[in-house]
Amino acid sequence: MGTQEFKKYSNIRVNYKVSITSETGYELIGDSDWELLLKIQENASLKIAAEKVGISYRKAWGDLRKIENKLGFAIVEKNRGGESGGYTKLTAEGETLINAYKELNINFQNAVNKYIIEFKKSIKS
């Protein structure tokens, strides 16, 4: 078995997680939930969203119900099939939540990058 050589500290990565929680610290929407909601936003289809995140349609419905129960409001609007086909799309509240979360992640990443660079510089000097 070969040994991989690293320059000092070159194999160190900084990881963090942005989480939306209740006042008591209970996670309201997990990473996989966000991914499902983003795919619903992109595709207006729960079936396609579930396929893209690698879960069953049934699990996706169950996850959505859990999310809405934890939040206390509807975040998706559902219309069953029929002649014109069905759709699942975010409600106005769901759109607001997802868009604000995207913006939070972008702003957080931009702010954290500066500190990650400073951290790496400080350990390499």
CA-to-CA separations, 71 to 20, 33, 68, 84, 101, in angstroms, rounded = 11, 12, 5, 31, 14
Cα(73)–Cα(113) distance, integer angstroms: 34
In the CATH scheme, what is the code of domain 26-124?
1.10.10.10
| Sequence ranges of the domains in the chain | 26-124
Cα(51)–Cα(70) distance, integer angstroms: 24
The model's pTM is: 0.76
14-35: average pLDDT = 86
The string of pLDDT tens digits covering residues 65-84 is: 999 999 999 999 988 776 66
Confidence category of residue 4, pLDDT binned at 50, 70, 90: low
Report phi then psi at 29, rounded to 5.
-135, 115
Cα(39)–Cα(15) distance, integer angstroms: 24
| The two three-digit tokens of residue 113, written as one number | 């990058």
Percent of the chain with pLDDT strictly greater than 70: 91
Residue-level pLDDT at 94:
95
